[in-house]
Each structure stands twice: as structure tokens, then as C-alpha cells.
Amino acid sequence: MSTLNYRELKKLLYRLKRIWGQPISVRRPLTNTHNVETGAISRTYTTYSIDRAIIMPISEARKFKYSLSYVAGNKNFTYGGFYDQQSRFLILDKADVDIIPNADDNIQISGDIYIVVTTETYEDDRAIYLLIRRMPSDS
């Protein structure tokens, strides 16, 4: 990439960070501890803070999931359910991050936790493009 294009990309990322930038946390799992008696799993995370990640608005799509009886038996009367799936795109400036998020990591944005679906690096390893999907809450 030429220096002119690199400068333009740097300016574009700066402008996008000013408009859409929000602080996020990347949570990378370290250990899982299983309690055999209660069945509880306690997880330990390492948290990396990113001051300004470019967060695009939520894309929400209603999905339908068939029950296993329909898939297995091909019956006429089946059960299933609709659910709302929220996904977002993130763009990270490579100069701002210490790590590259992968599929094992969680992204925390203002209290909501998202899982990383895909990670791609763009423009000579200058930017990281992520597709993240909101995890269903426990409550």
C-alpha cells in the first residue's frame, strides 16, 4: 500500500472512531473450573480494554428454529420457535489493540456480551473487521 493510501486509511479510521467509537472490552478465557458436586462452572477471563472501537448499529433478524422431531422424523405437526438474533460489525484500528480477537473471545459493549463469529484483517494488517453476535442472557 502506498503512503498516500495509508494516510487516507488512517484519516478514515480516525473519523469513524470519532463518530462511531465506543469503549469495549475483549474477554479472553483463561481457565474453566468444574464443580463435580453442583455442576457449576466458574470461568476466569483476562480482560483487554480498547478505548475506541468502531461499532456499527445492531442488525436484528428474526430466525426460526425447528425442533429435532421435525428434522429427525419429518412429521406433519412439529414444534419450533422464533428468536431474535442481534449481530454487529466492529472495526478495530490495529494501532489501538494489543491482541487480535478470535472465536474463543467475548466482546463486552456497555454491559452486553457478544461472541466473535468472524475475524478478518484488512489493508496490510492495518484494521481488523469483526462480525459479532449477541449472546443470550441468563436471566
Give pLDDT tens digits for 16-62. Answer: 999 989 999 999 999 988 889 998 988 899 999 999 999 988 776 66
Mean pLDDT on 75-88: 67
Beta bridge partners of 85: 61
- Tell me, what's the pLDDT at 131? 92
Domains annotated on the chain, with CATH: 3-134 (2.40.10)
Cell numbers for 123: 489493508
Say if CB 54 and CB 91 are below 8 A apart.
Answer: yes
Residue-wise DSSP of 30-47: EEEEE-TTT--EEEEEEE
Say if CB 122 and CB 12 are below 8 A apart.
Answer: no
